[in-house]
Structure 1
Amino acid sequence: MDKLRGMETFIAVVESGSFTGAASRLEMSAVMVGKYIALLETQLGTRLLERNTRRQSLTDAGRVYFDEAKRVLEQVSIAESAVERLRTAPAGTLRVSAPTSLGGCVIAPLTATFLQLWPDVRVELDLTNRRVDLVDEGIDLAIRIGEVHNDDLVAKYLCPYRMVICAAPEYLARHGTPQTPADLVDHLCLSHTVWTARNEWRLPGVEGEVRWKRDAILRCNDGYGLRMAAIAGAGLLLQPEVLVAEELAKGKLIRVLEDFTPEPRPVHLLWRQDLRPLPKLTHFIAHILAGAQTLTSP
């Protein structure tokens, strides 16, 4: 038996004063009302109602059960109302995972404007290049760079993740501007130690694939440090476009070898399948889709 339905039936019997009144209120037969009461009494091992042909009254156990059952159903109603509010307007905590660079430059600013629009939402933004498990780790939304191979998740294309080769005007004035990857042999390279164990750039579009020489003038495990070194004129830099967009716009860094940069990789939004996703997630996804197109456009 549905215990909550049994409680609801018992309360209706007490408040209406009869099985017939409860049946009319609950839109069921008086016989079914009687079955619910009988099953409740059997489960509890005691009588809840004293009844005869003229009237009914509560036993001591019935009075206690009536008060407690009403409290239980009130709490259920409060819980259902809370969930319904979540489904009508964005509210609650949203857990988001994003790659470190893209997350810091694109997702974090967009999250800030989203929170201004929906102050009842709280966001936990985890910036990591590790591939998180959305189900095991309770993540509502993940942003990933590269192809997606997971049929258990919903994937929505967000934007291309472009790379750019650039250098400071002062560096180019001293060393010249490379026109093809073959010219890189005469240039200084700034390399990220995490990107490749062999410390090489691989540039498409030329026969045999050109790789940067192994003895980079500066290696660093932090993209910001490499960017500051490039602005100071230390050498050529290969980084995601979103990280150097401001410096490129201000002329602090100049694009080179635009026809030979690595192919852009796709960025996707990933979330768990749900027939009715909560508004906090659907509104956040819409906000990220709208904002990222502007921030990452060429």
Structure 2
Amino acid sequence: MDRLTSMHIFVKAAELGSFAEVAEALRLSPQGVAKHVAWLEARLGARLLNRTTRRQSLTDIGRSYYERCKIVLAEVDAAEAIALEMKATPSGTIRVNAPVTFGAYALAPFITRYLDRYPDTQIELTLNDRMVDPIEEGFEVIVRIGELADSSMIAWPLRPYRLIACASPTYVAREGFPEKPSDLAHHACLVYGEWTPTVPCRWLFQRDGQSEEVRPTGRFRANDWKALLYAAIEGYGVTLGPADVLGKEIDAGRLVQVVPDYEGPARPMHVLVPAARRQTVKIRCFVEALREAFGEGMGL
């Protein structure tokens, strides 16, 4: 006999107290129920039920065995549910939050490919650079750049968010090629973000374990990096931006990397989900796809 089936019948017998009621509930004969219980008793070498002509009651061994059987059967049900869920096709709406530049240039193309792959999925993408409250604002998946401090989130690391410095071939031909970070002090830099004299913008470069800091200056600042990318392509200065995006502009010949022998700034990047939320198929599948696309050593 199948042990799990016999355990299931035994649990029912313990709970209902009658082979006849078990037989009716499970669509078996009372004799079939009795055979399963007797088979377990023979296997264990111990009586599990005290039988009378009308009712059954658990023995001491039967009571302990009953409690363990419930745990085993619950784990079997949970394992099967997980397996079935993993086979299921993701569907439904996923609310995603990400930083503006990464979201617009790198995440958006990934999302369109993901939607093509899973046509029953919808994604609502919100882009901003502030820290959001996923529970309060209803986000299910979040991409964050920078050090993590929120312990209420489950986090998976992605590849670092690396920045490089670039300018257009026209600009370099006109103003010269910056070979080292200190050269940028004599160039028009396109500064991202809102900075003040007391809190100046800093660009940090590294080479051979040594760091060099630059405080870029220029005539054009913006709080949206897309505007600075346009200005760089048009020859108005040097921009510091994500390597993934600028690499495509370099390949297209619209920009060239300056200060090429130095590593630009790099910040950790993670995908997060609130620990309080159940990781459904749609969330788990989306997170796994993100990790595959943006994991360390992976390309877009």
TM-score of the aligned structures, taking structure 2 as reference length: 0.65
What residue number does 1:218 align with? 220
Specify the alignment match of 1:43 in structure 2: none
Task: Output the CA distance in 2 between the equivalents of 1:94 and 1:87.
Answer: 19
- Within a 5 Å distance, the mapping from 1:1-298 to structure 2 comes to 24-26=23-25, 88-194=88-194, 196-197=195-196, 198-205=199-206, 209-214=212-217, 216-273=218-275, 277-293=279-295, 297=299
* Per-residue Cα deviation, 1:125-171 (whole angstroms, up to 9, x for no partner): 11111211122222211000012222222110111101110111111
Q: After TM superposition, give the deviation of residue 208 of structure 1 in Å.
A: 8.2
1:171 aligns to what SS in structure 2?
Answer: helix
Structure 1 counterpart of 2:226, one-letter code:
Y
What secondary structure, in the 3-state scheme, does the structure 2 residue paired with 1:286 have? helix
The separation in 2 between residues aligned to 1:153 and 1:112, in whole angstroms, is 26
Shift of 1:106: 1.7
Q: Give the partner amino acid of 1:248.
A: I
Q: CA RMSD in A?
A: 3.1
Aligned CA distance change for structure 1 residues 269 and 20 (closer, same or farther; 3 Å): same
Checking the alignment, whether the CA contact within 8 Å between 1:164 and 1:238 is kept in structure 2 is yes
Task: Quote the residue 1:44 is aligned against.
Answer: none
Paired residue type of 1:104: A
| C-alpha distance 173-119 of structure 1, shift in aligned 2 (>3 A) | same
The residue aligned with 2:14 is none
> CA shift at 1:296, angstroms?
6.6
| Bigger mean CA deviation after superposition, 247-256 or 150-159 | 150-159
- Determine helix, strand or coil for the equivalent of 2:122: strand
Identical counterparts, % of pairs? 31
In 2, are the aligned partners of 1:146 and 1:267 still within 8 Å (CA)? yes
Q: Deviations over 1:237-275 (max 9, x none)?
A: 111223323211112111011344443111101012379
Residue-pair matches, total: 223
Q: Which stretch shows the higher mean deviation, 139-148 or 203-212?
A: 203-212
SS at match of 2:290: helix
- Structure 2 counterpart of 1:31: none
What secondary structure does 2:155 align onto?
Answer: strand
Aligned-residue offset at 1:292 = 2.5
Which whole-Å CA distance do the structure 2 matches of 1:130 and 1:275 have between them? 21
SS of equivalent to 2:137: coil
CA contact (8 A) 2:160 2:268 kept: yes
2:158 counterpart SS class? strand
Question: Deviation string for 1:92-147 (max 9, x for gaps)?
Answer: 21111111111111222111121222222221111111211122222211000012
Q: Distance in 1 between matches of 2:118 and 2:172?
A: 47
Q: State the Cα distance separating 1:176 from its structure 2 match.
A: 1.3
**Which amino acid counterpart does residue 291 of structure 2 have in structure 1?**
L
Distance 1:252 1:114 in 2: 29
CA distance in 2, matches of 1:185, 1:122: 47
Structure 1 portions without partners, runs of 5+: 1-18, 28-80
- The verdict on how the C-alpha distance between 1:88 and 1:275 changes in structure 2, with shifts beyond 3 A counting, is farther
The question of whether the paired residues in 1 share the 8 Å contact of 2:204 and 2:212 is answered with yes
| Cα offsets for 1:209-262 (capped at 9, x unmatched) | 433354x12222321221111111111111122332321111211101134444
Letter in 1 for 2:214: R
Distance 2:144 2:211 in 1: 30
- Residue 279 to residue 213, structure 1, CA distance change in 2 (3 Å): closer
In structure 1, how many angstroms separate the alpha carbons of the residues matched to 2:241 and 2:94?
Answer: 30
